[in-house]
Amino acid sequence: MLEQEIKIPASHAASYRIIIGMDILGSLWSRVEADFAGYNKFVVTDENLVSAGHLQKLLGREKAPTFIIKPAGETSKNIDTAVAIIEAMEKAYLGRDTLVVALGGGTVGDIAGFAAAIFKRGVLVLHIPTTTVAQADSSVGGKTGVDSSISKNAFGAFWHPAAVYIDVATLATLDDRQFRAGLVESVKHAIIADSEYFDFLECNLDAVFGRKPDVLEQVANWNCKIKGSVVEADPGEKNLRRILNYGHTIGHAVEAASGFELLHGEAVAIGIIAAGLIEIEMKLAEPGRLERIRQILQKLNVPVTLPKELADKDLIDLIKRDKKAVNKWPKFVLISKIGEVYSHDGQYVVDVAPEVVEKVLDKL
Amino acid sequence: MLEQEIKIPASHAASYRIIIGMDILGSLWSRVEADFAGYNKFVVTDENLVSAGHLQKLLGREKAPTFIIKPAGETSKNIDTAVAIIEAMEKAYLGRDTLVVALGGGTVGDIAGFAAAIFKRGVLVLHIPTTTVAQADSSVGGKTGVDSSISKNAFGAFWHPAAVYIDVATLATLDDRQFRAGLVESVKHAIIADSEYFDFLECNLDAVFGRKPDVLEQVANWNCKIKGSVVEADPGEKNLRRILNYGHTIGHAVEAASGFELLHGEAVAIGIIAAGLIEIEMKLAEPGRLERIRQILQKLNVPVTLPKELADKDLIDLIKRDKKAVNKWPKFVLISKIGEVYSHDGQYVVDVAPEVVEKVLDKL
């Protein structure tokens, strides 16, 4: 018997730039052309962005092959859409010197990022996020994926962007429900990483709802700083990065159980309350903490209890299918106080017995 | 306008083990269990491996969830098969602690490796290659992918295996055409990297055809050494690794034009001859070199001229769609002598004018 050892060398460190501004969409394309000269650009967006005029504003008089996702939203976040995008890139004779420009919300970014990750074994992707959830969360960090009929992001890849350009003015056209649901990820960032940011959000939510440019810029900046620092420390989600999953384990199950009638942020809001109830069960919560979190979420006008029609759904089965599950049961992220994740033996995810989760689901 | 820089840290160096032996399949599963304790195993194979008895030999009395690709071969190497594999893994409640065991030829390895790369953003894959082409080439190096209706490996990822276990006894059941076509990759390795290996193949082809264990072990060992050293130096295919593409640029186009009636190795054999003709056109060939290559390929009984029915196919269009094409035209790998790739200004791929390629296709 012969043996050989094949070495896989370390990859080089790299970096990417996030730009946050107000009303910069119209000037971004020339920046894209300058920063990524020599790449063929391919735009992925959805019909909402087209009708809001954002695609036209981005391109101006320039032309670029473009794929428009129809219908907009979670129902298109599946492998068929990713395949259609890739076939469109093939029909445009694009090669590995392609830059995919993802203009849109989290769904567009997830699909386009995944298509870029697997097109000819990977091409560059640049995100121009246009929703609260995408500007807060999904455009930074390199998670991409599409859903299967069974679970979210069943297909996916870690694929870091080449750059992220944020124009908070694009939020002006976002409908109120999407806008508010997207802010749940901002609240989550504050809960897990920064009590000062939590205070800021509590005090400035009215200005946020009024979509005041300077406050929106600050929110985007705070979100990218928190998300970025976590991702830098643990890009492959071995440990620390999992804190970003706060509220998501039960949130994802609730989202799937609703048949995606609930928006991601709405489901995560319920998941955050569930995490708070678990913390109470496990004696990790100081008095009044969950109430404070519940109040800010209620002010966002997102659900904080399990909708009645989901009460008889098998959430436990969906939780077992969580992609981070080991031996068919996931670990949970909990907090010790607002701004600080609970850790045990250096691990940021902890065991929670199924019975505790079942009890909490009954209370939810 | 605010700006942030997000750092992507370097990944750690890693390594994986290749084991080459004769008649070791029956003892491999206990090695898999020992080397990858704590992982849930999921086997991907195809119907040919089942009927040859290899799946049963591998598993013995052990049980593991298994996906059997039907029909075996290139026609199944598409996104639908990858999706079906992932859905089967989901139905088995598998999580990120999954080890995909790919038992089969290059097609099985490419599909299973790709499914592992994108399942829940990536799980481990272990290759047990059972064909000459897979043992020589595709199991080592981390290239995975499936074809679209337009081009090969339109969907794909770089995804290094966790280990490669080779039992040359599995070649005994391989049909003669597959066996011989697979050896084209061995000839290619010799042409680009090792004239001594080329001499060895010339002298020992009869023993190879007789499937003599010690010679097959030596061939596998030589192939893995050459492939491994190239991949170690350039895992992401920035430069050196592209030498492995010798004969493949035109080979892939011929393969696609044949509607995959030609086996990969058969198409690459034609591509190798085409590369030799390009070298003559570009005055890079010493007299008699192409003849020597043609003779060893003829001894393998693979085609060395373009089949008549492909003469009127638009190979140029297919070459433009090569996934390494930049500005819709690929560069080519050529050799300066047997065992040594031609390089220019430190680059291992060179420009060849479309007119030269057209002329060579006419001669082919």
Residue B5 lies in a domain: no
Q: Assess whether A307 and A357 both reside in one domain.
A: yes
- Shortest distance, CA A298 to any CA of chain B (angstroms): 30
Q: What's residue B321's pLDDT?
A: 84
pLDDT of the residue at B248: 95
A42 in contact with chain B, both atoms CB, cutoff 8 A: no
Same domain flag for B160 and B191: no
Model confidence over A57-100: pLDDT tens digits?
999 999 999 999 999 988 899 999 999 999 999 999 898 899 99
> Does one domain contain both A316 and A191?
yes
Domain annotation covers residue A179: no
**Residue A132: C-alpha distances to residues A169, A209, A300, B44, B89 (Å):** 11, 11, 12, 41, 33
Q: What is the mean pLDDT of residues A347-359?
A: 94
Whether residue B197 sits in one domain with residue B133: no
Q: Are residues B253 and B314 in the same domain?
A: yes
pLDDT of A323 > 80? The answer is: no
Angle between helix B195-209 and B176-193 (nearest 10):
170
From the list A54, A216, A235, A244, the residue with the least C-alpha distance to A135 is A216
Say yes or no to pLDDT of A328 above 90: no
- Looking at the structure, tell me whether residues B315 and B247 fall in a common domain: yes
Which residues, in sequence order, are CB contacts of B99 under 8 Å at separation 6+?
B32, B36, B39, B40, B41, B42, B123, B124, B125, B126, B162
Q: What is the pLDDT of residue A81?
A: 98
The CATH number of the domain holding residue A357 is 1.20.1090.10
Instruction: State the pLDDT at residue A10.
Output: 87
Q: Any CB–CB contact under 8 A between A75 and chain B? A: no
**Interchain CB distance below 8 Å, B118 and A156:** yes
Strand B155-158 vs strand B163-167: parallel, antiparallel, or unpaired? unpaired
Predicted confidence at residue A238, as pLDDT, reads 85
Instruction: Please check whether residues A92 and A41 belong to one and the same domain.
Output: yes
Q: Are residues B63 and B110 in the same domain?
A: yes
**pLDDT for position A112:** 98
pLDDT for A218: 95
Residue B306 lies in a domain: yes
- Residue B10 lies inside a defined structural domain of this protein: no
Q: Do B7 and A24 touch (CB under 8 A)?
A: no
* Six token digits for residue A304: 């904080």
Mean pLDDT over each residue of chain A, to the nearest integer: 94
Query: Does pLDDT of B179 surpass 80?
Result: yes
- A35: contact with B, CB 8 A cutoff: no
Query: Is the confidence at residue A312, as pLDDT, over 80?
Result: no
What tens digit of pLDDT does each residue of B200-250 get? 999 999 999 999 999 999 999 999 999 999 999 998 888 899 999 999 999
CATH number at residue A84: 3.40.50.1970
Instruction: Supply the pLDDT for residue B314.
Output: 87
Sign of CA dihedral B43, B45, B49, B50: positive
Cα–Cα distance between A260 and A149 in angstroms, integer?
11
Residues B205, B145 share a domain: no
Active site residues of A: 121, 143, 185, 227, 237, 241, 245, 248, 252, 264
Residue A181 within any structural domain of the chain: no
Question: Are B280 and B247 contacting, i.e. CB atoms less than 8 angstroms apart?
Answer: no
CA separation for the pair A119, A121 (Å, rounded): 5
Q: Determine which of A175-184, A271-280, A305-314, B343-352 has the lowest per-residue pLDDT on average.
A: A305-314
- Record the tokens describing residue B248, joined without a space: 């493949």
Residue A12 lies in a domain: no
In Å, how far is A48's CA from the nearest CA of chain B? 26
What pLDDT score was predicted for residue A326? 81
B3 close contact with A: CB closer than 8 A: yes
Q: Are residues A129 and A213 in the same domain?
A: no
pLDDT of residue B254: 96
What's the CA gap between A108 and A74, in Å, rounded? 9
Rounded to 5 degrees, φ, ψ at B305 are: -135, 160
Average confidence (pLDDT) over A290-314: 93
Q: Residue B105 in contact with residue B177, Cβ under 8 Å?
A: no
Residues from chain A contacting residue B83 (CB–CB below 8 Å): 79, 148, 155
Which of B8, B15, B238 to mutate: most A Cβ within 10 Å? B8
Three-state secondary structure call for residue A83: helix
Distance CA A326, CA A331 (A): 8
Query: What is the tens place of the pLDDT at every residue in A171-193?
Result: 998 999 999 999 999 999 999 99
* pLDDT score for A214: 93
Report residue B12's pLDDT band, with 50, 70 and 90 as the boundaries: confident
Dist. CA A312–CA B349, nearest whole Å: 61
User: What single letter denotes the amino acid at residue B87?
Assistant: E
Q: What is the pLDDT of residue A314?
A: 87
Q: How many CB contacts within 8 angstroms connect chain A with chain B?
A: 221
> What is the reported pLDDT for A151?
80
* B24 phi, psi to nearest 5 deg: -105, -5
Partner B contacted by A344 (CB < 8 A)? no
How confident is the model over B109-127, as pLDDT tens digits? Answer: 999 999 999 999 999 999 9
Range of the domain at A342: 187-229+238-363
Distance, CA of B322 to CA of B98 (rounded, Å)? 33
Residue B323 has pLDDT above 80, yes or no: no
Q: Are A125 and A62 in contact (CB under 8 A)?
A: no
Asked if residue A214 and residue A144 are part of one domain, the reply reads no
What mean pLDDT do residues B5-13 have? 89
Question: Interhelix angle for B354-363 vs B264-281, to 10°?
Answer: 120
Predicted local confidence at residue B313, as pLDDT: 79
DSSP conformation class of A245: G
Q: What is the pLDDT of residues B41-82, one digit of tens each?
A: 999 999 999 999 999 999 999 999 999 999 998 889 999 999
Other beta carbons within 10 Å of B197: 22
Residue A217's pLDDT is: 95
| Residue A15 contacts B, CB cutoff 8 Å | yes
Residue ending a domain, among B114, B144, B174, is: B174
Q: Are B304 and B234 in contact (CB under 8 A)?
A: no
CA distance A289 to A287: 6
Q: Is B119 on the interface with A (CB under 8 A)?
A: yes
CB of B116 closer than 8 Å to CB of B96: no
Mean pLDDT for chain B overall = 94
Closest CA in chain A for residue B226: A6
Of the candidates A314, A318, A321, A319, which has an alpha carbon nearest to the alpha carbon of residue A332?
A319
> Smallest CA–CA separation between A144 and chain B, in Å?
8
Chain B's closest residue to A82, CA to CA, is B155
* Mean pLDDT within A242-267: 93
Q: Which pLDDT score is estimated for B260? A: 84
Closest-CA distance, B320 to chain A, in angstroms, reads: 7
B3 lies in a domain? no
Domain-ending residue, one of B123, B140, B174: B174
> Do A93 and A197 fall within a single domain?
no
Structural domain total, chain A: 2
- 3-class secondary structure per residue, chain B: CEEEEEEECCCCCEEEEEEEECCCHHHHHHHHHHHCCCCEEEEEEEHHHHHCCHHHHHHCCCCCCEEEECCCCHHHCEHHHHHHHHHHHHHCCCCCCEEEEEEECHHHHHHHHHHHHHECCCCEEEEEECCHHHHHHHCCCCEEEEECCCCCCCEEEECCCCEEEEEHHHHHHCCHHHHHHHHHHHHHHHHHHCHHHHHHHHHHHHHHHCCCHHHHHHHHHHHHHHHHHHHHHCCCCCCHHHHHHCCHHHHHHHHHHCCCCCCHHHHHHHHHHHHHHHHHHCCCCCCCHHHHHHHHHHHCCCCCCCCHHHCCCCHHHHHHCCCCCECCECCECCEEECCEECCECCECCECCCHHHHHHHHHHC
Choosing from B114, B147, B174, the residue where a domain stops is B174
Band (pLDDT 50/70/90 cuts) for residue B312 is confident
Residue A327 lies in a domain: yes
